[in-house]
Amino acid sequence: MNITIIGTGYVGLVTGTCFAEMGNTVTCVDIDQKKIDNLNKGVIPIYEPGLEELIQQNEKAGRLSFSTSLKDAMKKSNIFLISVGTPESPNGEANMEYVYNVAKEIGKHLDRESVIVNKSTVPVGTAGKVSSIIEEELDKRGVKVKFHVVSNPEFLKEGNAIQDFMRPDRVIIGTDSEFALDILKQLYAPFTMSHDRLITMGVKEAELTKYAANAMLATKISFINEIAHICDELEIDVESVRKGIGADSRIGYSFIYPGAGYGGSCFPKDVKAIIHTAKKAGVNPLVLQSVVARNDIQKTRMFEYIQKKFGSTLEGKTFAVWGLSFKPGTDDMREAPSINLITSIIEAGGKVQAFDPVANEEAAKKFPKEWISTNQLIFFDDNYSALENADALVLMTEWKMFRNPSLSKMKKLMQNLCIFDGRNQYDPAYMRENGFYYKGIGR
């Protein structure tokens, strides 16, 4: 099959590359000339394990190419996947500008029966709007071309996206068109051979399913973080509570790990978007609003722990921060809890020595340049160098390399043996037995 992917961000690149890996001919289109030039040179704009190698292999095989011309790509394709961003607007609504611009461009050049697939995370009713925009452009041209708009939301986890795409939990297709459904069944057949993972439904149902899925996962995170807060006040260990409730098969262990709050490109934006959708529909989304409120509080918890230990003013204190990205396996700094923490420490007079195995460069863009030029914020190339003369270590991202650190090295390097564990990676008793002050989330 000849496929056109519009948008070379996270979803577009992973989607296009994985389809090419299964033998399809894929053109990824983006209006960003620099990004396309870099991709053609082998420079990948995101960090995702395994993606760079797959892109190189499929480019070399002639199955994957990159272009700035949607018009040219449309000459050899009748399957178009819209994978552009839908960033959060100031009022919490998804900004649909990029999706609608793509729809307009498709309408200008459409010349054969085609399937237009919304991969972007979009509000309910978007498929209808996209159809109207394309129809308007066709009317301006005075032509009649049959087309089918489908909702096919993505469910990719950053850091595990290749595996998620190749072996999906489910493939959701929202359409009432048999023509479109038959094409997408063929397209996804290589990914669902072991058993049928394809779920079909209406377009609007598919659009809401994506938002509902992310909102549910965010709800579990905020729930366990609230339980952890209660545990803090009662001076009991949330880890025991987590194990106790997770053993119930109706609850399970997934997404009930206390932490410093959720971040990234999806959960913060999508929960707010579904709240906006609910309000427009006349529903007061009490639970979803509480999820956001709890997460806002959670992003302040690590700093509260630090102030409780060191006082409100942190002048003369140095804090090592291990992990900057919002989760391991990615360099994505969007809404990362480390941003809140580092900002609070420096504004309180402290100094930060930070390390992340892949996100240092992206993280540096999130802070004032003068903080870096005056050494209030220093980024290190290895985690132990960041510990030198530190008054405390703050763990913010649970990269595997942090799981079993050398305590002897830490003791030699640190000014004070103090650990604030924002991902509950360490055993409190073990750390305390070895002379460290330890404070985890709800521990």
Residues with catalytic function:
266
Residues 6+ apart with CB under 8 A from 50: 162
* Residue whose token pair is 């649970």: 398
Contact 96, 126 (CB under 8 A): yes
Residue type, 387: L
Task: Give the 3-state secondary structure of residue 401.
Answer: helix
The distance from CA 251 to its chain's CA centroid, rounded to whole angstroms, is 23
Rounded Cα–Cα distance for residues 321 and 385 (Å): 11
Residue 378 forms beta bridges with which residues?
353
Q: Is 316 left (phi over 0), alpha (psi -120 to 50) or beta?
A: left
435 backbone dihedrals φ, ψ, rounded to 5° = 90, 10
Q: How far is CA 435 from CA 64, 169, 321, 336, in A?
A: 55, 45, 20, 30
Q: Count of residues for the chain?
A: 443
DSSP state of 161: H
Q: What end-to-end distance do the CA atoms of the chain give, in Å?
A: 54
Q: What type of residue sits at position 417?
A: L
Q: Which residues pair with 355 in a beta bridge?
A: 322
Amino acid present at 249: S
How many CA atoms lie within 13 Å of 168's alpha carbon, on the beta-carbon side? 21
Chain mean position to CA 160: 11
